Amino acid sequence: MGRELLLYTIPIVLVTEVPCLIFTVFDILKLDCLRKYRIKNTDYPTNLELWTAFKTYCSVLATIMTLATVAFGSLYLFADDWMIPYRMGAFDQSICSFVLELVLITLFNDLLYWLWHKIAHLPYFYAGHHKHHLLWNTFALGTHVLEIPEIVVFSIPAAIGPILFRSH
């Protein structure tokens, strides 16, 4: 089961990065016609900011893929089927139930992520993760300037929704 879960997870993680990459292309192009849509009408990031964030982005993505491979590889090697929190058998859902499950999980995960993020900004926790807030401009790749503990902690909300809903 762990192997199948890994084979489903990695492509989904990569697909979810497409919007970030599209907005990064806009940041690289620095199109004047899009400037009015930037958050608080801020300037585009400098090339140095983009390069710094890109290096961190690659590191973060590599860390996530490594953690996923280790976690799901461990499930494959050591876990019994009853320990796998997802339904990995034949797809037996109607399209309506699949869409409903997808919407519920997405809303639940977004709510949980928002709550997690609010907690991370409490003074007690903020000092340990404020690195990405040191960037001067708000831009897509800047959201990926994270430390490894942040990656681990912020991966938890993404896993809780599908586990609670026994996602297929």
User: Which of helix, strand or coil describes residue 153?
Assistant: helix
What's the token pair of residue 101? 């499950």
Round to the nearest angstrom and report the end-to-end CA distance of the chain: 12
pLDDT tens over the chain, length 168 residues:
545 665 666 677 777 788 888 999 999 999 989 888 887 777 888 898 899 888 888 888 888 778 777 777 776 666 666 555 555 555 567 788 778 877 888 888 888 888 888 887 788 777 666 655 565 567 888 777 777 777 777 777 777 777 777 765
Kindly report the pTM of this predicted structure: 0.65
H or E segment and range at residue 9: helix 2-16
